[in-house]
């Protein structure tokens, strides 16, 4: 397996622990050599997970409708 699909919230969640867990999960995926395919959003937990992976040299593939990408909600890679 090279990549996994992870969809999560476009909000950071009700507790800071949720955002922290998203960051730890992203770091763990990179440490295992796994890429991520997801909804492409740059905000909330989706963005935290993507940003963490990109900062560590991981692979992130975002799939997002053009309508949302044009609103700049997509991950900037």
Check residue 4 and give its pLDDT. Answer: 95
Residue 34 lies in a domain: yes
Does the residue 76 lie in any domain? no
Q: Report the domain count for the chain.
A: 1
Domain assignment present for residue 59? The answer is yes
Neighbours of 60 (CB within 10 A): 22
Q: Which domain holds residue 44?
A: 3-69
Q: Taking phi first (over 0 means left), then psi (-120 to 50 degrees means alpha), and beta for anything else, what does residue 15 get?
A: beta
pLDDT tens over the chain, length 77 residues: 999 998 888 888 889 999 999 999 999 999 999 999 998 888 889 999 999 999 999 999 988 887 777 765 555 54
pLDDT score recorded for residue 66: 79
Establish if 39 belongs to a structural domain.
Answer: yes
DSSP single-letter state for residue 43: S
- Residue 4: phi, psi to the nearest 5? -125, 155
CATH code for position 8: 3.40.50.450
Name the pTM for this structure. Answer: 0.83
Angle at 72 between CA 66 and CA 74, to 5 degrees: 70
In a domain, 75, yes or no: no
């Amino acid at each position: 397996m090279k990549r996994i699909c992870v969809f999560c919230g476009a909000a950071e969640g009700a507790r800071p622990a949720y955002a922290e867990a998203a960051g730890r999960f992203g770091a763990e995926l990179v440490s295992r050599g796994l890429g991520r395919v997801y909804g492409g959003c740059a905000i909330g937990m989706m963005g935290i997970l993507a940003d963490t992976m990109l900062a560590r040299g991981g692979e992130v593939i975002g799939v997002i409708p053009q309508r949302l990408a044009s609103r700049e909600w997509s991950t900037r890679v």
